[in-house]
Amino acid sequence: MESLKKKVIYQIYVKSFMDSNGDGKGDIAGITMKLDYLKRLGADCLWLTPVFVSPMNDNGYDVADYYRIDPSFGTMEDLELLIAEAKMRGLGIMLDMVFNHTSTEHEWFRKAMAGDPKYKDYYIFRKGRGALPPTNWVSKFGGSAWEPVDGSDEYYLHLFDRTQADLNWENKDLRKELFDVVNFWIKKGVVGFRFDVVNLISKPETFEDDHLGDGRRFYTDGPRIHEYLKELAGNTFGRHQGMITVGEMSSTSIGSCVRYSNPLEEELSMVFNFHHLKVDYEAGDKWTLKEFDFMELKRIFNDWQTGMENEDGWMALFYNNHDQPRSVSRFGSDTRYHKESAKMLATSIHLMRGTPYIYQGEEFGMPNAYFEDISEYRDVESINYHDILKSNGMPEAEILEVLRAKSRDNGRTPVLWDDSDGHGFTSEVPWLPFAKVSGISAESDIASTDSIFSHYRKLIALRKEYDVISDGTFRMTDMENSHLISYIRCKGNVSLLVVNNFYEDETALDLSKVLDETDLDFRKCTQESVLISNYGDLTKSDDMIIIRPY
Ligand code: TEU
């Protein structure tokens, strides 16, 4: 079997991918319709965001039944057909397991609220302190992380929405229930899993106020996390050859991620971390407007690439997902240099050490939503923060500007398959408006001679062809350069130099200086070539190279 390091994963936010039955929402059968497109791109695995029964307060990240498909997404037969059709094309399906919390509509939580002690211990209930909640912890979606239980002095913990109650992993029976869920889906033929915020599952023994922050330091990479992950792996996917697992790690550290992903630890195949996606937060606060800090982005890439490599960890490479604004609008240009910047951003991470993830629409440069009114938003976090900022006295126009830059709905607008009214996504009104842009679609991109799509195809093909990409060492060069992220990958006698200009102006690269920083002597190269570029006419020239916009 092809090594994990050669694979590329494509993320599907099911509700916005493809609507097969004209209800304005994407569904599983819609994914099956697009398998040939995904095969043509070259992706190996498709990660589907949660498709399980859910009241959809957080679009499926609030699971009410781990064993059944939500009717809005289709049926179990639809999923079985998708798995089979994907397999025929050499594509694997990965499912999203949300195990930090369940919906408050899950049967376990209902029984807990009815007073059943067995199920009460599946969750985290604590007594308040007079009129105060058990601790001062803050929910990631705003407000207290504790919800009072009517008619009692107790509260339950929810690190996310109040309808997402945190599970108590200290309870062995609960852990066993979750292992059964994983094994059920393995039997259906999936090739792997993404585990939602899985580094938050181990809570501290005692709950106390956080006088320095919002509480996260007590439960992030918590006390029993490695034990839990080893137990999960040992009872489920670890018993099968070659399953692919990725943990979503919130506010984590390199040290923890090395342990999560080093193969000898037998926990997960790889990790997502988000430090590089906070470089446009003012003082750590997402709901602010700030130009991204390029030098900080560069430093974080360097730290994580080298930190993970030194200890044999393995990381996911990505800028986009369903929680993030679109990278081409955020770090590139979605107008004048749309194609150039979309391709540059792709190159900048696909050629790093790790597994690239492509988020639906990224492969043809989908931009942000550009919504103009709060009524266009659907995301629970965006709506909560709209209300919080309003009650803090921020004017509506300013709030909308912040949301335009930061809302998760930027990444969730339906895929623009073509330029027709329903954009080839739906024949109905879509559940979330389309991005307010014109002239950008999969169809028009693919029809152009210099498509973004073909650049992605090529990047994927290069990873398969060259071991220096999938398995080479990483070294960043020209650290002080304020426009370029450049790095060198090496394996055996093959070396690869990658140069990315993150700005609209030209900048000069002194090749001899860059190469002098390395142990390599490129002048002794017997064979050299330009593997890929976002400008059609790039050729190797003298030591001073002008790097064009993006
Ligand atoms: O996300 C976890 C998470 O930390 C982000 O939602 C983060 O809080 C946000 O982007 C910061 O602004 C995962 C899922 O990806 C997300 O969609 C869910 O809402 C969340 O978990 C709860 O399950």
In CATH, what number is assigned to the domain containing residue 137?
3.90.400.10
> Domain boundary residue among 165, 189, 213?
165
* Residue 141 CA, closest ligand 1 atom number: 8
Separation of CA 138 and ligand 1 centre (Å): 14
What number of CA atoms fall less than 13 Å from residue 507's CA on the CB side? 18
Give me the chain's average pLDDT, please. Answer: 96
Separation of CA 323 and ligand 1 centre (Å): 6
**Is 151 part of a structural domain of the chain?**
yes
| pLDDT exceeds 80 at position 191 | yes
Q: What is the pLDDT of residues 80-98, one digit of tens each?
A: 999 999 999 999 999 999 9
> Domain boundary residue among 120, 138, 165?
165
Q: Which of 27, 196, 267, 334 is catalytic?
A: 196
Helix 225-235 to helix 172-187 angle (10° resolution) is: 40
In the beta sheet, which residues pair with residue 390?
Answer: none
Of 322 and 492, the one with more pLDDT? 322
In the beta sheet, which residues pair with residue 5?
Answer: none
**Is 394 part of a structural domain of the chain?**
no
Task: State the pLDDT at residue 1.
Answer: 54
Q: What is the pLDDT of residues 197-229, one digit of tens each?
A: 999 999 999 999 999 999 999 999 999 999 999
Q: Give the whole-angstrom CA distance, residue 312 versus residue 332.
A: 31
Q: What is the pLDDT of residues 122-134, one digit of tens each?
A: 999 999 999 999 9
Pair 56, 72: CB distance under 8 Å = yes
Going by pLDDT thresholds of 50, 70 and 90, the confidence category of residue 544 is confident
Q: What angle do CA 499, 502, 505 make, to 5 degrees?
A: 100
Q: Give the whole-angstrom CA distance, residue 53 versus residue 106.
A: 9
| Residue partners of 6: CB distance under 8 A and separation at least 6 | 44, 463, 464, 470
DSSP 360-429: TTGGGT-------SGGG---HHHHHHHHHHHHTT--HHHHHHHHHHH-GGGGTSPP--SSSTTTTT-SS-
162, 166, 197: residue to mutate for ligand 1 pocket, most atoms within 8 A of CB: 197
**Chain position carrying tokens 């109650």:** 165
Nearest to 329 by CA among 413, 412, 404: 404
**Is 161 part of a structural domain of the chain?**
yes
Q: What is the pLDDT of residues 497-524, one digit of tens each?
A: 999 999 999 998 888 888 777 766 666 6
Average pLDDT over residues 23-28: 98
Nearest to 138 by CA among 215, 75, 77, 195: 215
Q: What is the pLDDT of residues 277-311, one digit of tens each?
A: 999 999 999 999 999 999 999 999 999 999 999 99
Nearest to 22 by CA among 427, 432, 431, 430: 427
* 398, two tokens: 């300013």
Rg of the chain over Cα atoms, rounded to whole angstroms, equals 23
Task: State the pLDDT at residue 314.
Answer: 98
Pair 241, 184: CB distance under 8 Å = no
**Is 102 part of a structural domain of the chain?**
no
Residues with CB under 6 A from ligand 1: 58, 61, 98, 140, 160, 196-197, 248, 250, 286, 322-323, 381, 408
DSSP 477-546: E-TT-SSEEEEEEEETTEEEEEEEE-SSS-EEEEHHHHHHTSS--GGG-SS------SSTT----SSEEE
| pLDDT exceeds 90 at position 262 | yes
**Chain position carrying tokens 């195949």:** 269
Catalytic-residue membership of 248: yes
**Is 290 part of a structural domain of the chain?**
no
**Is 65 part of a structural domain of the chain?**
no
* Residue 98 CA, closest ligand 1 atom number: 23
Q: Where are the alpha helices (DSSP H) in 76-132?
A: 76-88, 107-113, 117-120
Separation of CA 321 and ligand 1 centre (Å): 10
Q: Which of 147, 221, 248, 362 is catalytic?
A: 248
pTM of the full predicted structure? 0.97
Other C-beta atoms closer than 10 Å to the C-beta of 364 total 27
Other C-beta atoms closer than 10 Å to the C-beta of 308 total 23
Pair 221, 232: CB distance under 8 Å = no
* 163, two tokens: 């309808």
> Domain boundary residue among 129, 148, 165?
165
**Which residues form the domain of 120?**
107-165
| pLDDT exceeds 60 at position 274 | yes
Catalytic-residue membership of 196: yes
14, 61, 380, 389: residue to mutate for ligand 1 pocket, most atoms within 8 A of CB: 61
Q: What is the pLDDT of residues 404-423, one digit of tens each?
A: 999 999 999 999 999 999 99
**Is 500 part of a structural domain of the chain?**
yes
Domain count, the chain: 2
Q: What ipTM, to 2 d.p.? A: 0.94
Separation of CA 404 and ligand 1 centre (Å): 18
In CATH, what number is assigned to the domain containing residue 506?
2.60.40
Helix 294-310 to helix 254-261 angle (10° resolution) is: 40
Cα 291 to Cα 88, 295, 303, 349, 365, distances in angstroms = 45, 12, 21, 20, 20
Separation of CA 539 and ligand 1 centre (Å): 43
**Is 483 part of a structural domain of the chain?**
yes
The DSSP secondary-structure symbol of 198 reads G
* Residue 161 CA, closest ligand 1 atom number: 22
